[in-house]
Structure 1
Amino acid sequence: MRELDLERYRARYGLQAVLLSNLAITVVAIFGVWRLDGDKSVIIGVLTAAFTAVSTMTTAYLGIKAVSNTAKAMAQADSTRRDQSPQPATPQTPTPPAPRNG
């Protein structure tokens, strides 16, 4: 239960950090374009850099999250497989026959 809560917090705050960073980049890009008043080559440069930063940040987060989820699923499958694998049978020593009286 505790590990599930920790994973949920990591995912929530990681996504929140990415979204806030993307929002900050977007605001700075809009402000930069607004202040440049028509210099098209610089505006294109600002927008290109902003788009690159946003897409790189988002792709990195999603890639790291996907790899983390895959590794976790593989570890769980491995532990489940180990738990369900048949245990080697313990060799049974034969009991000697009881002596016969008679």
Structure 2
Amino acid sequence: MSQDQATAVTTDSALEKTQARYGLLALIISNLAIAAVAIFGVWQLDGDKSVIVGILTAAFTAVSSMTTAYMGIKAVSNTAKSIALGQQAAASVDADRLRAAGPAHVLRQPAVCRRGVPVLRRARVRCG
């Protein structure tokens, strides 16, 4: 890995941490705002049970939906990133292996006989 790639990975990691912090902060603040509005609504109703149940149900639904959506999107994002990094690392390892093997490890190109049958060029097969 070159120095530029290492710097890019470090910068990307710091950016992802910042986004995760502020995303979680936004989720917590919005959930607290929903809870505050629900508590204020229940306090103002002075005992109307059916409306209180409706307000609390709506507040619970909003909080759980927002939390589930945030966590689900975050989980999918993390999974996609780890898959992409894993594939990139595997490709890098394969490239390093091929480079280390040197010119003796050349992929053989198929040659085609007159009959259209592919054979390896280094194979001693007569096409005749």
Which residue pairs with 2:46 in the alignment? 37
Query: In the aligned structure 1, how far is the partner of 2:75 from the partner of 2:106?
Result: 42
Specify every segment of 5 or more residues in structure 1 that has no aligned partner in the other structure, as ranges: 92-102
Cα drift, residue 45 of structure 1: 0.3
Aligned residues with identical type, % of pairs: 59
Which residue pairs with 1:7 in the alignment? 16
* Runs (4+) off by over 2 Å: 86-91
Which residue pairs with 1:28 in the alignment? 37
TM-score, structure 1 as length reference: 0.85
Aligned-residue CA RMSD (Å): 1.3
Amino acid at match of 2:93: Q
Please identify which structure carries the higher strand content: 2
Cα drift, residue 90 of structure 1: 2.9
Specify every segment of 5 or more residues in structure 2 that has no aligned partner in the other structure, as ranges: 1-9, 108-128
How many residue pairs were aligned? 91
TM-score, structure 2 as length reference: 0.68
